[in-house]
Amino acid sequence: MFISQAFAQTAPAAAAGGAESTLLSLLPLVLMFVVLYFIMIRPQMKRQKEHRAMIDALAKGDEVVVAGGLIGRVSKLGESIVHVEVAQGVELQVQRPTIVQVLPKGTFK
């Protein structure tokens, strides 16, 4: 009564340029991936490369900022652990990737 009957529709005839229409339908997807690559992926890879270079260039005496916001001076370097002196006689062991920034000399007193 309240529901009308649904009738199957016949499929429209295939377009003459079938392969061409398929390529045109994929074009927006490809363009979105290219835009995302240049806007998001490439800058992130560049930042990771710069961070890795900064971590590899750490030396004893460098003044650094740790991910938690602590500022200190590098006192010992290990392969994966860095000892950061945050106060006279207070040394923290942190993993290398947690170092966020190397500060200019004289910042930490």
32 within domain boundaries? yes
Q: Are 102 and 54 in contact (CB under 8 A)?
A: yes
DSSP 3-state of 39? helix
pLDDT at 109: 77
Strand order in the sheet with 90-95: 90-95, 81-87, 71-77, 63-66, 99-103
Q: Is the pLDDT of residue 40 over 60?
A: yes
Q: pTM to 2 decimals?
A: 0.69
Mean pLDDT, residues 67-85 taken together: 94
State the chain's mean pLDDT as an integer.
88
Among 7-16, 22-31, 49-58, 93-102, which stretch is predicted with the lowest mean pLDDT? 7-16
7 within domain boundaries? no
- Judgement on whether residues 49 and 23 belong to the same structural domain of the protein: yes
- Judgement on whether residues 88 and 99 belong to the same structural domain of the protein: yes
- Judgement on whether residues 39 and 68 belong to the same structural domain of the protein: no
pLDDT at 25: 86
Check which CATH number belongs to the domain holding 64 and give it. Answer: 2.30.30.30
- Judgement on whether residues 51 and 83 belong to the same structural domain of the protein: no
Q: Is the pLDDT of residue 62 over 60?
A: yes
CA distances from 33 to 22, 27, 38, 60 (A): 17, 10, 9, 43
Q: Is the pLDDT of residue 63 over 80?
A: yes
pLDDT band at residue 19, thresholds of 50, 70 and 90? confident
Range of the domain at 33: 17-57
pLDDT at 75: 95
8 within domain boundaries? no
Query: In whole angstroms, what is the distance from residue 72 CA to residue 90 CA?
Result: 10
Give how many domains the chain has, as a whole number: 2
Q: What percentage of the chain has pLDDT greater than the value 70? A: 84
Query: In whole angstroms, what is the distance from residue 61 CA to residue 107 CA?
Result: 12
pLDDT at 20: 80
- Judgement on whether residues 32 and 52 belong to the same structural domain of the protein: yes
